[in-house]
Amino acid sequence: MDEMIAPGIELDAMLRSMNNGVVAINNENQIIFYNQVFLTLLGRPAENIKLQPFYEIIRNEIIFDAIDIVRQKGCDGIKEGEWRDKAIRATATPLVGKREILGVLVIVEDITQLKKLESVRSDFVSNVTHELKTPLTSIRGFVETLKNGAIADEAVARRFLDIIDIETERLYFLIQDILTLSEIESGTDYEVIACNVGKAAREVTDLLEGSKEGVTLIYEPVPYIRPYYCNPTRIKELLINLLDNAMKYTEEGKVRLICQEDGDDLLICVEDTGIGMEKEQLPRIFERFYRIDKSRSRKQGGTGLGLSIVKHIVELYNGRIKVESQVGKGSRFEIRLPY
């Protein structure tokens, strides 16, 4: 046994350096070594538990189950589960000596973050499926009705084709937005060039100007903006999404874009005099597929992903985003991207 505990300094250093909890027990179920992370993960104080009876001081079914697999089947045992407010994974392995099995080694990992990501991902997949299904169901329904005779009535046929056209466009935009999000998220957005933000703002406002009756788009370019090192496509996507929202959610009034340097930041503000939002809604609007008024967003051709894309772009450039809004008065999105 001593032979195993002996290489003291190296073993201690190795155990201390590990991010995961480690504990080893001998065949008499005494703890032969462990590290501090193990104690922390199990919510225990920093105490000396060497040579203590394992099953008397540790109460964790996940770890017990993993050890049972090793003892009963002789192979590695992996178990995951909830432990207090955490999700943990215990991986137990036979501790092999020169000729005999000396006990069991257990690695305990905190997988809370991993589980959260998995659940975000699976929620996203089910949301996407639902969002894709809605326009597809509508398209199929109208195609079916046309095939069943409606095609003979030209006026009706034209109306149905228009609806199919709108739904197809909706699908196209949705897929575009999903692709944009996954491109930004994949972290492979290496393109960084000196971007003329003033020019990008001009191009975007030219594109949107006059696109909605009753809404005036105001952009007064400042004489000079220091080039901002980024992927110009991302800056344009950010501007388009914010301006498009401002115009969508303003029946009649003004939308103003401000783009300028402010100290060490590139400052982008989009203000509108539109419908505004309740204060309680503000923390949620950057979530994927979150819409305050579902039918209004759909009617306006919204995908529910615009602000999520904006948030991802801001994070990509280590920026900050602030929203102020008042129902019936309008909204103001302020973005600061550090140079």
Q: What is the dihedral of CA 123, 124, 129, 131, to 10 degrees?
A: 110
Secondary structure class of 69 (helix, strand, coil): helix
* Beta-strand runs (E) in 57-181: 77-83, 86-96, 101-110
Nearest to 76 by CA among 95, 58, 62, 57: 95
Secondary structure class of 34 (helix, strand, coil): strand
The count of chain residues that interact with ligand ADP, using the rule CB under 6 A, is 22
In the complex with ligand ADP, which residue's Cβ is closer, 89 or 236? 236
Site for ligand ADP in 159-188 (CB under 6 A): none
CB of 216 to ligand ADP, least distance (A): 15
In the complex with ligand ADP, which residue's Cβ is closer, 198 or 276? 276
Contact 93, 105 (CB under 8 A): yes
Q: Is 128 in the site for ligand ADP (CB under 6 A)?
A: no
CB of 334 to ligand ADP, least distance (A): 12
The rounded distance, in Å, linking the Cα atoms of 48 and 33 is 10
In the complex with ligand ADP, which residue's Cβ is closer, 255 or 266? 255
CB of 255 to ligand ADP, least distance (A): 8
In the complex with ligand ADP, which residue's Cβ is closer, 232 or 306? 306
User: Which residue is it, tokens 């597929």?
Assistant: 289
CB of 279 to ligand ADP, least distance (A): 13
Q: Is 272 in the site for ligand ADP (CB under 6 A)?
A: yes
Instruction: Kindly report each contact of residues 113-116 with a partner whose C-beta sits within 8 Å and lies 24 or more positions away, as own/partner.
Output: 114/87, 115/87
Site for ligand ADP in 273-312 (CB under 6 A): 274-277, 285, 290-293, 297, 302-308
CB of 316 to ligand ADP, least distance (A): 17
Contact 31, 52 (CB under 8 A): yes
Nearest to 109 by CA among 81, 137, 131: 81
Q: Is 331 in the site for ligand ADP (CB under 6 A)?
A: yes
The rounded distance, in Å, linking the Cα atoms of 148 and 153 is 11
Instruction: Decide the pairing of beta strands 253-262 and 215-219.
Output: parallel
Q: Is 271 in the site for ligand ADP (CB under 6 A)?
A: no
In the complex with ligand ADP, which residue's Cβ is closer, 60 or 308? 308
In the complex with ligand ADP, which residue's Cβ is closer, 233 or 281? 281
* Amino acid type, 203: E
CB of 103 to ligand ADP, least distance (A): 54
* Amino acid type, 252: E
In the complex with ligand ADP, which residue's Cβ is closer, 201 or 285? 285
Q: Is 238 in the site for ligand ADP (CB under 6 A)?
A: no
Site for ligand ADP in 243-262 (CB under 6 A): 245-246, 249
Site for ligand ADP in 43-62 (CB under 6 A): none
Q: If you ran DSSP here, which 8-state letter would residue 30 be given? A: B
Question: What residues form DSSP beta bridges with 119?
Answer: none
Binding residues vs ligand ADP (CB under 6 A)? 245-246, 249, 272, 274-277, 285, 290-293, 297, 302-308, 331
